[in-house]
Amino acid sequence: MARKTRLGTADAPRQATPAPHWKKLRQGDRVRVLFAPGFEAGGLVDAVTADHSAVWIDFDGGRGRALLHCSDGVDIVLQEDAVTHGD
């Protein structure tokens, strides 16, 4: 059953511009996906859109593949950057 919603009461839309470091991501890069504090997963970049706003990640350990958009509230950092940032 559909939820009743009121027009004009939706939360403000999330930012749809990728962070500057997302523009460095390339197919085959090893990355860490930071979902929330304490929740992260490793994987490989499978594909990146031309504007770098969406990235396909193939997660380690056979945990599947996911399309992540810059407005999803996650961060994607290169594996070597994750070490230097203390993540």
For β-strands 65-69 and 54-59, DSSP reports them as antiparallel
Give the per-residue pLDDT at 58.
Answer: 98
Q: 48 has which bridge partners?
A: 55
Give the per-residue pLDDT at 14.
Answer: 59
In terms of Cβ atoms closer than 10 Å to its own Cβ (0-12, 13-18, 19+), residue 32 is buried
Residues in the chain: 87
Those residues of the chain that have pLDDT short of 70 are: 1-15, 81-87
Give the per-residue pLDDT at 85.
Answer: 53
Domain 20-84 carries which CATH code? Answer: 2.30.30.520
pTM greater than the 0.85 cutoff:
no
DSSP per-residue letters across 14-44: PP-S--GGGGG--TT-EEEEEEETTEEEEEE
Give the per-residue pLDDT at 16.
Answer: 80
Give the per-residue pLDDT at 83.
Answer: 54
